[in-house]
Structure 1
């Protein structure tokens, strides 16, 4: 039994259920496209001045985690905010990550889908004060991604909001990027709960006006837009936005609170997935999507239902710190040998949060090796002065 701390300062005994899901490939083709946004595994033995220098990456563990996702029938959203882009991971590291991942994907027997984040984070905001400068920065990253065969995800750039760019500036940049891409792109609307500096993206803080703008942008050339990922944590908005998309353009839900009903849909329309939480709940996500493909709604919801409290805890406010919970579960499940993140990001969450994630992951049958998970949780508790 473990003594787990609670938010009211108590220690409460907890015994593991010990009934994990088995990570396995789906038995039928999935009817939803599902990208898991994966994290980066640090190499703490090679870290030097982790706050001031490029992160040292454990490439073997990082790529093995991606292979584990692919083996379960999931696609990969690479070098996104889940991988700490702009929060400990720089563009040069992200570029190497993309190159290594694309090489591994091409060798994988399931030929998994991989889409990669293109942004402007290799340039300082002081360099990105015009539409031409922002466009050139995006194009530099886009060219590097396309050179290795990656599909583009046009990540939201802080450069727009830093200069209070009007809608016309967004239109100039995005129109050129969309039309010039080799493959249809995925747009990314990331809310300020994930990154406070993105408040007012698309040139307005009015969500309805922003929606009209983006839908108009897509409608100008829908053949060059694979889909749009919306991360606003607003189920009603996503459903209404989804209904207005041109035929053939996907809505990739980024709603880590309401993904189950959004992916299932309303009988007419449904969302696909591009989610950070899928990296943490991969066995449940894969098997829930398998059940959906088989028409088994009861099993779909039975698998997803216990993951929702877990996801809500991992993505609780301040939401931008969710990456710590993703890496924590990877450590508990043996995907990495330590709980160290680029820039020491694991310190962004408190021990009571990690204790809650541990309990909720057990409830969701996502502690895949209970004995190892308990041992590692004891280690973390001990480092916080809690003996069990």
Structure 2
């Protein structure tokens, strides 16, 4: 695997770095972390966070000793509902999960050394208890195992993240990428080429530090719009509400969430049409577009121009009430995308407004007739996109 990029051993007091993430309890006893499950039906996990784990090949070497009251297996979990490994109390491997290498070897003191290697698509590692092949269960509340040490090493994962040929990878254009990719795309890192737009320099830098580990990934430090040139960005108390449109307090004053829309400053940001960047050879043709730009979705879509003809799916946040001044609403977006062969497939209410139907996540794909006319490679991409987005296939 080559030389480790990151290497750290957790033993003794350092084991307390692993935080309780779900239904279990843990306490340091001597040099060990003693783990008890819960009678609640839930995950039973400890979790460690570090961006060093994201888009890397991870090797975990855990030394665990099962206790007399154990009724569970030792479990290594990947955020997003994926299993890495399950080891029964007698050392039997009962689930190899999505890892690439796994072993469990008995030690002289009755403990086991569990050695697991896997591709990490998240900035966290999780260990805990599982039962009957499942990570979600109702436990006994008794001591399950003592964690004696964990060695974590990370390695470059370029080979693993490159295994999908370039012409088969999904080009994901993420507009408004603060916080990084959505989990559903992180879990498919080896299948995508992400192009993320984030105009705030500090946010763009943070995204670039980890996204650059995916082959072909780009972070473009610009805002997308329907016209190129500088525009005023309204920076809000909650940074996720910042927008190229001014918050509309005639609406927002009626909701407690309105306080995070308070404008705390403005700054000039450089805007550009996506199709202009495409013609300049800076960005590729999009297969799927995700837009979260707080009331500016319509203008961003117009900036893609004719490239919307080639796009297969679009996911965006939209509104039926103008919480930003002058914004276009859901109906306007349905109309413009209909001209490019898109149909609205899913509409999910976002409950930020006291239960009122104000904000929605909208999912569009090309209509059935457009999909039927696609060449085989594009149809295959559409299948992968549909699986990631949770859209039922056309019958």
Q: Same fold (TM over 0.5)?
A: no
Higher helix share: 1
More RCO (CA 8 Å, sep 6+)? 1
TM-score by structure 2 length? Answer: 0.30
TM-score by structure 1 length? Answer: 0.30
Q: Which has the larger radius of gyration?
A: 2
